Structure 1
């Protein structure tokens, strides 16, 4: 009886997550079989095996059963099984895994350029899908996902965890309550430090053909927050971008950090051998597919931008100025909303606003951490009304799991599905598409020098108020 009830709760959760934000609204059609939810994972890299793998196994053992793991690299998927502590089968063939195990849910955490392949195929095979962000990397793949969800009975949920952090939620609450009237413009700036920012250029993310550039892979988080905060769809994008810090602009380069002759003179040298997990997951399995985790930041095939700036006009006439820097001395972000009745300012991890003893590397490690005892701190949000002094709201903030967003996203799906969310943090295909399409439009604008209209990319028509 307990398993049956738990399963009903989960199915209700996924239905709620997908129903309000999907391209076409309908309910899921799982049978209530009185058993654990059968889940498979495709893509057994660090994100898949930790956040969408080991954490689910440890936190929700009465609700979830992994029945299959899949990766194109047989060594990685074998390590994933051991690391996650599961007894399911491992596969290098996705169709074989799904057909043999008949899962209820497919979790997709492969490279971004292949998300659409597994999403569409999973829908065809009768499964619901939970995918890591970004939904995909270009408008054509995006349209394939939109069409597939319309055609088949099953649904797609996008794991936008930043929406679920208490700090982001407080901003949403203030805007939803019209604290500063109608929002007319926004300034949003995100800073990746020389540890985290550089890591993208070491990995497959440094190639636009696999990651779509950071305007898609990383900024999809930021654009989704903007869409959600403003409760509107983007309409038009104009952008600038360039590669002038990493890649071929450097005077020297090596094969990878492990065997680089410039290790002692390179400020970006990173010793992967100090990480047992990276060695076991990646280095020990290079022989299977040739993927190098500690690639040179200055290799000549890097073809993404390391500085980006975009202006986004929304269907409700709000204008956003956005920038992303990948070689900042510190990691953090700041945002300001200008409204007809005032202004909201918010920021996180700007070091000169407070004393922080941890290194930038340690701060990033804590943000990505899953589990462990979390200490709640407080961070300010400034609300300034016209003709009045500003007020400071102290908002609870947790360092780990993306500001506390990770565990809250999981709990909503697996523990508290029946609770109505007043902030509409669930994300489906339309949400995933609209965040990706801003990045795609920005990329096209940089290449053409012209503004790009969102309506020209897929058949989704931007709305002044988001479709719920």
Structure 2
């Protein structure tokens, strides 16, 4: 147990992506398990950062507190996670009472900064779900808080850890196509998954920062890591043309809507036992409705997005995000001085799938260690030569197998060197959201936005 806990705390230092800290910088009693508190008991919090930690790492971790503003959902979360720890409505009281080693933040995006900053100020290391935060002012406050605290902040990026994404990184690291010149990246959200964002608080700019931040932070982190450079400037377009006020009709929520018989997007949350137990049964406490109408008029985020990003090494990125595609998947193409790499996932006319469009997101979010392997292709096309097709192992569960590999790196294998540099810290979290924030500002101001103008974090040409 002593060695396992030391390995974890060492990994916190590495994941922070700052200067390496000696183990002596962490105040802990090595004879005890790592003490953890969780704030925010939504679906990601209680599953991936809750129940899975109990199931897989209970020999080195113990929950000492859970916090949420919704008391009845908090009680449900405690039972679901399988912990006997106390619960708190007040975050500061929880930290003062339990004195945890690690705070895990899984609240609404726009409140991440509150708990990150307070956790650091109160002497805790902090792990936050993506995105780091929702605007440049909050980002700057987080950066300053981490510097002052001498504690560490890590961001739970998981896409880097999927075997498929790692293979792309390997090919680029090995200069398979020479020096990188440009990248084209297109992400397609289907009418099940894409629509779900517009039912929730994510549909309001003040809560999510728009999908430029909440969703695209995943994509921009992957791209920053693959390209191995940092963004310098961004120009973007975006609009709301499908959801929100554009709908043909609207109701209070899906379950009671008078248009349910003729709405293609109708979803009865009461038919999903888990979602009903986690959300519907507790909405009387705080008024949070999980199945809001996705055509309500107060939606103010974009449902179509396109951006150009110039990196400090002169690589250019063409990016788009579609939120009402007939299928869920993505494509990426890398152009280099010696050829081209093409990769894609779940494009239905390229490979027959056994998973329906309705099931795709559920499969991605499923937390299970049972292998569900398939093989996906990556095309490598050198200049002047025939293309090669590489068959790469691929998992569907847990974000392409990235979820479990991320947690294993943190808690089990932190002492093993990672040649692909998949660990991500505060700088990575900031650079990923700053692209999305810059895209928003570009749309608002109709001009190119310099990343260096947003915070005091200046882009570097290449990670050290």
Return the TM-score normalized by structure 1. 0.97
Cα offsets for 1:230-279 (capped at 9, x unmatched) = 11110000000000100011121000001100000100000100111111
CA distance in 2, matches of 1:391, 1:94: 54
* Aligned match for 1:10, one of 4, 8, 29: 8
Distance apart, 1:373 and its partner CA: 2.0
Per-residue CA distance 1:181-230 (angstroms, 9 max, x = gap):
11110000000000000000001100110100000000000000010001
Q: Displacement, 1:33?
A: 2.8
Cα deviation, 1:96-130, whole Å, max 9, x if unaligned, reads: 00000000000000000000110000000000011
Distance in 2 of aligned mates of 1:355 and 1:33: 51
Name 1:255's counterpart in structure 2. 252
Aligned to 1:41, which of 38, 43, 58?
38
| Correspondence for 1:128 | 125
1:80 is matched with which residue? Answer: 77
- 1:64-75 aligned at under 5 Å gives the runs 64-75=61-72
| Structure 1 Cα separation of the partners of residues 251 and 429 of structure 2 | 37
Q: Secondary structure at the match of 1:353?
A: coil
1:443 and 2:440 aligned:
yes
Q: Is the 8 A contact 1:29 1:153 kept in 2?
A: no
Within the candidate set 396, 402, 405, 1:408 is matched to 405
Structural RMSD (CA)? 1.0
Equivalent position of 1:233 in the other structure: 230
SS of the residue aligned with 1:264? helix
| 2:55 paired residue among 53, 58, 63 | 58
Contact 1:17 1:157 in 2 (8 A): yes
The CA distance in 2 between the partners of 1:114 and 1:229, in whole Å, is: 29
Deviation at residue 25 of structure 1 after TM alignment: 5.4
**Whole-angstrom CA distance in 2 between matches of 1:411 and 1:31:** 21
Q: Offset at 1:365?
A: 1.2
Contact 2:327 2:347 in 1 (8 A): yes
The corresponding residue for 1:103 is 100
Partner of 1:210: 207
Which residue pairs with 1:421 in the alignment?
418
1:399 to 379, 396, 400: 396
Aligned counterparts of 1:32 and 1:420: Cα–Cα separation in 2: 26
- Partner SS for 2:260: coil
| Offset, 1:14 | 1.3
Say whether the 8 Å CA contact 2:201–2:208 is kept in structure 1: yes
Alpha-carbon separation, structure 2, partners of 1:32 and 1:428: 25
1:416-459 CA distance string (max 9 Å, x none): 01001101111111100000000000000011110000000000
> Residue 360 of structure 1 aligns to a residue in which SS?
coil
CA offset digits 1:32-60 (Å, max 9, x no partner)? 43111000000000000000000110111
Q: 8 Å contact 1:169–1:423 — kept in the other structure?
A: yes
Using the alignment, how far apart are the partners of 2:35 and 2:391 within structure 1?
41
Structure 2 distance, partners of 1:377, 1:284, is 38
* Distance in 2 separating the partners of 1:275 and 1:309: 34
The residue number in structure 1 matching 2:139 is 142
TM-score (norm 2): 0.98
Give the length in aligned residue pairs.
Answer: 462
User: Among residues 320, 340, 357, which one is paired with 2:354 in the alignment?
Assistant: 357
Shift of 1:372: 5.1
| Deviation of 1:358 (Å) | 2.3
Give secondary structure in 2 for the equivalent of 1:465. Answer: coil
Structure 1: stretches of 5+ with no match in the other structure: none
Match of 1:163 in 2: 160
Q: Deviations over 1:358-413 (max 9, x none)?
A: 21111221111001522211111111111111111111100100000000000001
Q: Decide whether the 8 Å contact of 1:113 with 1:211 is kept in 2.
A: yes
How far apart in 2 are the matches of 1:399 and 1:338? Answer: 27
> Corresponding residue for 1:282?
279
Question: Could you tell me how far apart the structure 1 residues matched to 2:160 and 2:251 are?
Answer: 39
User: C-alpha separation between the residues in 1 aligned to 2:355 and 2:310?
Assistant: 38
Gap runs ≥5 in structure 2: none
